[in-house]
Amino acid sequence: MLGRNYGQGYLLTRNIAQKENIPKKFLEQILLELKHARFVNSKQGVGGGYYLIKKPKDISVADVYRLFDGAIALVPCVSLNFYEKCDDCKNEKECLLHDEFIKIREGARVVMSKTTIQSFLQHDKKRKK
């Protein structure tokens, strides 16, 4: 909804909640998190609400996934954005899993980065025809 409404003013939490069938209070928290991550902005008071700051084509599924679910990698030791050293594994260079898990991360990362809010909206448009 925020994507479809891009550049067209404020959307009320109440309206999004109703239309998308999400508990209002729950949605508020999600929107707040999106605001802190600078994907959306908001205004309080009468005539306020939320709107998308970034262009739909500049918000990827990877971005949103990282915000709410964290690392795309299956193990922290091959994560780009959430790297952590393994506890069990003694040395990363010698680990036989490491390089293959990087390939898997790349498979997931690439497709999740290519897919954006814009992708969803384009798809939506095609359906409507």
Partner DNA sequence: TATATTGTCTACTTATTTGATAGAATTTAT
Partner DNA sequence: ATAAATTCTATCAAATAAGTAGACAATATA
Q: What one-character-per-residue DSSP string does 106-122 give? A: HHHHHHHHH-BHHHHHH
CB of 59 to DNA, least distance (A): 18
Which one, 70 or 107, has the nearer CB to DNA? 70
Asked whether 7 and 22 are in contact (CB, 8 A), the reply is no
Which one, 40 or 72, has the nearer CB to a copy of itself? 72
Round to whole Å and give the CA distance between 63 and 119: 14
Which one, 45 or 129, has the nearer CB to DNA? 45
The secondary structure of residue 90, as a DSSP letter, is S
Given the rule CB under 7 A, which residues bind DNA?
A: 10, 12-14, 23, 25-26, 28-29, 31-32, 35-36, 42-50, 69
